[in-house]
Structure 1
């Protein structure tokens, strides 16, 4: 057999293994609310080729070879063990199981928190209402629909908007179905004009038209004890957001913008454990705050941060003008697609609301640039202890793979990556290791972030905590220290 034929046969064999994984991955999510990943890179919804690609990617992050046969064996065992709702890192399960004599018995021990008697069924879902249906609202809808799974956790029930035209429903459906940045919705979106509903992959979403959050009776649509996600940004303090609580059927409110006054600003992975049942209104902070706070926490724990400056190179937003026109904000009236625009950011101060130990230590500024999505935070830090580039990079790489912040921080080393390579990232921020600069106690870190999808993923995690449905993350994460 010549070399070409051998390579072709090997590829076909790998494809066959990946194809066998797809129904296992889907079934675990659909029947058991289990989300599977390889070192944090999700498998759910991937094609055959994408499954092969993600195996190669995790190897490129410094891991040893992850054989497709090993991944398949763990997935088959998981189907038999029937864990309850959980986020399972299959790669780490593979690694820990290599020296075990019995794969299934090993997995029983590793997954004990999610097994119980093995017959735990879905819990009662929590109703979610999206107040506003813009960039973040539509991405939240996509994620919620994709996470419907076995019926527990979060259930998208309605969106609330102001009616824009006679064919408003059709236009809303089209915007959900097609996105110039994030691509086509994975599935189908239909319109039920008679009942004013969108039907996305079988999920019926009530469309409610209203200009005042205090006037809606959600129970008339069968919605009870709902969490309302306000992604309009119109109200940011407790007084304004409290109007949602005047509506019948609403239990709690989550704002997808920095909250003002005494509102708790939550960055999942940092201070989500401070959410109390009595907190009826919360903020999920900003995309930039979510991107940089986990990295800052990791660095502060290992090296100590004396002071720092955060410069964000941020994609333009809907608040800016396409062409020069009047705008109440400084400089934002100039064309967003033609200019770099210096503007303010509250992200540096907002970090302290989630990470009080950094209060007063950070300053920040921002430059809006002519790209539609994915931004970059440049962290100029003065540390208590000196750092070498290889050392701090290795530490952050291990944090991204093994620590309690692995859902928030990703790490990449490639001389070819650019902003569009991070569109659709589930992580809050991605450290670009090759760009790191370290000179004694002076360090500069570059952190990419999908300011739309990465942030939306963080919002979903906060929602899951509020609903008491955030899945257990297994295997148990170990603490990562500076020297491993």
Structure 2
């Protein structure tokens, strides 16, 4: 047998193992509301090849490929436990088991590591929480995809309605078509049908009421059976408390804005300050995509090295706010053709840092360049640190943060030498540290942070909504503090 035959035989063996994992992962999700992860990446509804690729990606951050032969015993052990709603990371289980010196079997170790999700300690499954999307543009449709994806267990969040302006004949069919197909993010994973008689879009069995309204104060949510809902405003039309309060009507309990909030509206970056949201807070903002990209790594650096000052330069994909061709625009430069130019513009991300990280006293400045790509941006974070360090030390720190810290869902880490922007379309992290581009000299560190400004940001929004709705389930093994 040749070496190539050996490699192919090994591949087929791993395919067989991954195939056996799919029904176990699916049953845990549907029957117990358990999401199985691998280094913060969900394995729910993934194909055989996707599961194998996710295992292989571990080499980028952990230094070695993680084999399905290593994680399968932990997955089997999980299926034998009386688990409650939770997120369980097979990658972390395997890593912590290797370092454990108690001589426990895989089953014994797994039971101990996830003890908080079993027996009398487990969380009871909660009734679904209604969610309403106000606006159905780029972010709105991606939020819809994520909410539908996460409704598989029948618990957690339930997308009940979308509120949009009536665009006339064919409105419902066109909106369903835009949800079904996306030029950047691809086909919707599932089936979509249109119930024109009842003004509904049915996606993977989720009946989504499409409500036509030009003013939030005219919508009668209880008439559609919607109650105690979280409304996500994707329009950006209102950004202060007074404007967003228009949404607080019967049927709506809280309002979440997908843009930077103004005035006293809290700007929340999940993973950094989401635990500061007061239970009685009814209006909050998820800040901007760029704020979400820079604040987690900024916190990681400030906690370890201290930050004296910093500047962030964002190279940002163009957005619907710009013109396709030169035309009048109320903002400077944004009237010039987005697909044909690099456009200097402003960013509020630097000033928003103070709201998300009030303990950081360093002055952070920022600017932005819009460039002719439709999605994925990069933030160049130039920091003066409180102490000198080395490139190797910084990279080791950020790699560890991406693997084991409470910020592991926000910060990803990549060492690929040929990585470019399109490689990060669909990333669920708030930002991805590009190890190869990182520069450190003495007390100066320059981080290059990729981020999918559409999908990665939408994932952050959903995490905030899960948190304020009470359906953000704990992760096991617990990340290091």
Per the shorter chain, which TM-score range? over 0.9
Contact 2:81 2:118 in 1 (8 A): yes
Shift of 1:63: 3.9
Cα distance in 2 between the residues matched to 1:192 and 1:211: 22
**Take 1:88 and 1:406, find their aligned partners in 2: how far apart are those partners?**
13
How far residue 59 of structure 1 moved from its aligned partner, in angstroms, is: 2.2
Residue 399 of structure 2 is matched in structure 1 by 397
Q: Give the stretch that moved more between structures: 376-385 or 79-88.
A: 79-88
User: d(CA) in 1 for partners of 2:444 and 2:69?
Assistant: 45
DSSP-derived class of the 1:194 partner: helix
Task: Report the Cα distance in structure 2 between the residues aligned to 1:354 and 1:248, rounded to whole angstroms.
Answer: 30
Aligned counterparts of 2:25 and 2:427: Cα–Cα separation in 1: 20
What residue ranges of structure 1 are gaps of 5+ in the alignment?
A: 480-484
1:165, CA displacement in angstroms? 2.5
Query: Residue 338 of structure 2 aligns to a residue in which SS?
Result: coil
The secondary structure found in structure 2 opposite 1:356 is: coil
**SS of 1:478's equivalent?**
coil
Flag the 1:118–1:104 CA change in 2: closer, same or farther, 3 A.
farther
**Match for residue 230 of structure 2 among 209, 227, 230:** 227
- Corresponding residue for residue 291 of structure 2: 289
Following superposition of structure 1 onto structure 2, how do residues 362-401 of structure 1 map, counting pairs within 5 Å?
Answer: 362-401=364-403
Quote the residue 1:482 is aligned against: none
User: Which secondary structure does the structure 2 equivalent of 1:254 belong to?
Assistant: strand
Instruction: Check whether the contact 1:132–1:231 (CA below 8 A) recurs between aligned residues.
Output: yes
Could you tell me how far apart the structure 1 residues matched to 2:113 and 2:139 are?
36
Shift of 1:326: 0.7
* Alpha-carbon distance in structure 1 between the residues aligned to 2:59 and 2:440: 26
The Cα shift of 1:390 comes to 0.8
Superposed counterparts of 1:47-196, under 5 Å: 47-98=47-98, 100-117=103-120, 122-196=125-199
**1: CA distance, partners of 2:122 / 2:237:** 45
TM-score (norm 1): 0.96
Partner residue of 1:214? 217
Any gaps of 5 or more consecutive residues in structure 2? none
1:241 aligns with 2:278: no
CA contact (8 A) 1:77 1:104 kept: yes
Q: State the number of aligned residues.
A: 478
Out of 255, 265, 268, the position equivalent to 1:266 is: 268
Corresponding residue number in structure 2 for 1:23: 23
Alpha-carbon contact 1:126-1:153 (below 8 Å) kept:
yes
Q: Aligned partners of 1:451, 1:191: CA distance in 2, in Å?
A: 29
SS in 2 for 1:390: helix
How far the C-alpha of 1:117 sits from its partner, in A, is 4.2
TM-score of the superposition, structure 2-length normalised? 0.97
**Aligned CA distance change for structure 1 residues 476 and 320 (closer, same or farther; 3 Å):** same
1:126–1:154 Cα contact (<8 Å) kept:
yes
**Residue 88 of structure 1: CA displacement?**
1.1
- Tell me which residue corresponds to 2:6: 6
Q: Which residue is equivalent to 2:444?
A: 442
Higher alpha-carbon deviation: 149-158 or 297-306: 149-158
Is 2:438–2:445's contact at 8 Å kept on the other side of the alignment? yes
The residue matched to 2:340 in structure 1 has which SS? Answer: coil
d(CA) in 2 for partners of 1:170 and 1:289? 35
Q: Is the 8 A contact 2:310 2:362 kept in 1?
A: no
Q: Is the 8 A contact 1:255 1:283 kept in 2?
A: yes
Which string of whole-angstrom CA distances, capped at 9 and with x for unpartnered residues, describes residues 201-230 of structure 1? 001000000011111111111110101000
The 1:360–1:62 alpha-carbon spacing in structure 2 relative to 1, beyond 3 Å, is closer
Give the alignment's Cα RMSD to 1 decimal. 1.4
Partners of 1:62 and 1:198 lie apart in 2 by 42
Quote how far apart the aligned CAs of 1:10 are. Answer: 1.9
Q: CA 1:468 to 1:119, structure 2 compared with 1: closer, same or farther past 3 Å?
A: closer
Distance 2:439 2:351 in 1: 24
- In structure 1, what is the Cα distance between the partners aligned to 2:392 and 2:165? 52
Please give the residue correspondences for 1:404-483 in structure 2 after superposition, counting only pairs within 5 Å: 404-479=406-481
1:149 deviation in Å?
2.7
- Structure 1 stretch displaced more, 205-214 or 97-106: 97-106
Structure 1 CA distance for aligned equivalents of residues 60 and 327 of structure 2: 47
What residue is the counterpart of 1:44 in the other structure?
44
SS, match of residue 337 in structure 2: coil
Are 2:85 and 2:122, in contact at CA under 8 Å, matched by a contact in 1?
Answer: no
Superposed CA offset, 1:260-285 (max 9, x none): 00110000111111111210100010
The superposition leaves residues 364-387 of structure 1 with CA deviations (integer Å, 9 ceiling, x where unpaired) of 000000001000000111111012
SS class of match (2:80): helix
Deviations 1:327-365 (A, max 9, x none): 111000000000000000010000110101335611100
